[in-house]
A = this chain, B = another copy of it.
C-alpha cells in the first residue's frame, strides 16, 4: 500500500484538461473552474453513497432504533457536506467575470445542469419529475446523453426517501391510543392559540383597518389549512391541487412526533424529521448562493447550456423543495405547557430511565 496508489492519484490528478490550453491559449483560471466542479462531483458521489444506504435501510421491513441511529449519523454527514458545498462557492468567486469570459465560449453547450449526480440526489430525496423547472420548455433530461438519461429514469422509477419516509410515518405506533383523545384536546389547544391571535389582531393599538383585515384573512387560511388535517375530503383537495404532497396520515404522525419530541422514544424520530428539513433548507441556500454567483459572473446572460442562466436557477430555489410539508407544520405547534398530557401508561411505554437499578 502506498498513499498515491491507494487514492489513485495519477488518475485523479490527470483528470484536468483545460479547453483553453488545448486550443493553445491557456487561461490560468480555467484550472480552478474545473477543480471546483470536480470537488463538487466527488462530494455528490459521497452523498449518493449515503443516500443509497439510507434508502436501503428504510426499504427493509423493520427499522430498528439502532438503524435509525445509523440513518441519523449518515444524514448528519450529508448535512456537513452540504455546508462545504455552499462555502466552496466562495472559492469559485475568486475568479473574476473577465477571466471566466476568457474561456466561457469554449464550454458551450456543456452546462452545470447536466450534472447527472446532482439530479440523482434530488430524485432519490424525492423531487418529482413534474415539479422540476423546465429548461427552454423541455424536460430536464432532454439535454443529456442517452446513458445519462437512462440512469436518471431508473432513479425516477425507484422509491424515493420521501415515499419511504411517508410509509414509515404512516405506520407509526401510538397514534390511536385507547382512552386518550389526543386530537380532540390538541385541536382545542390550537383553536385557543389561533383565537388569541385573532383577538390580538382585532385590538391592535397601531394597526390600520386594512392591516387588520389583511391579518384576519391570513388567519382564515391558516385555520382552513389546519382543519384539513381532520377532514379527509378537504385534505384530498389540497393533494389534488398540489398544495400538499404528504398523506394526511403521515402528516399527523409527523405532527405528533414534533409535539412529543421530548419523549425518549421520539427523540431520534424528531431529530430525523429535523434533518430532512435541514437538508431541504441547505439545498435552498445552495441554490440561492449558486444563482447569485452566476449573476456575478454573467449577469442576465444565458448559461453555456440552453438555460436562461440566473433566471432558471432562481426559479429552482422555490420550486424544488421536497419536504415542504414538514416545514409547514410549524404553524401548528403549540406552547409546551398547552400540550395535552399523555396518559401514564403511554408515557411509560415511551420512556425509560437511565438510572441506578
Contacts and interface: CB of A to CB of B under 8 A. Distances in A.
Contacts of A262: 66, 69-70
Contact of A210 (B15, B37, B38, B136): B136
22 contacts: A2-B110, A3-B111, A3-B114, A4-B114, A7-B38, A12-B38, A28-B53, A38-B42, A39-B43, A69-B262, A80-B94, A81-B91, A84-B91, A97-B333, A101-B333, A109-B200, A135-B211, A137-B211, A138-B211, A171-B355, A211-B306, A297-B330
Interface string A31-47: 11011011101110110
Contact of A143 (B39, B90, B136, B206): B206
A222 B42 contact: no
Contact of A300 (B5, B32, B143, B331): B331
A334 B104 CA distance: 11
Interface string A150-180: 0000000000000000000001110000000
Contact of A46 (B32, B143, B267): B32
Interface in A172-212: 172-173, 193-194, 196-197, 200-201, 204-208, 210-212
A200 B105 CA distance: 9
A351 B63 CA distance: 12
A287 to B, nearest CB: 11
A28 B353 CA distance: 24
Interface residues of chain A: helix, strand, loop or mixed (majority): helix
A227 to B, nearest CB: 14
A136 B215 contact: yes
A273 interface: no
A173 B355 contact: yes
B298 A145 contact: no
Interface string A72-104: 010011001101100110110010111101101
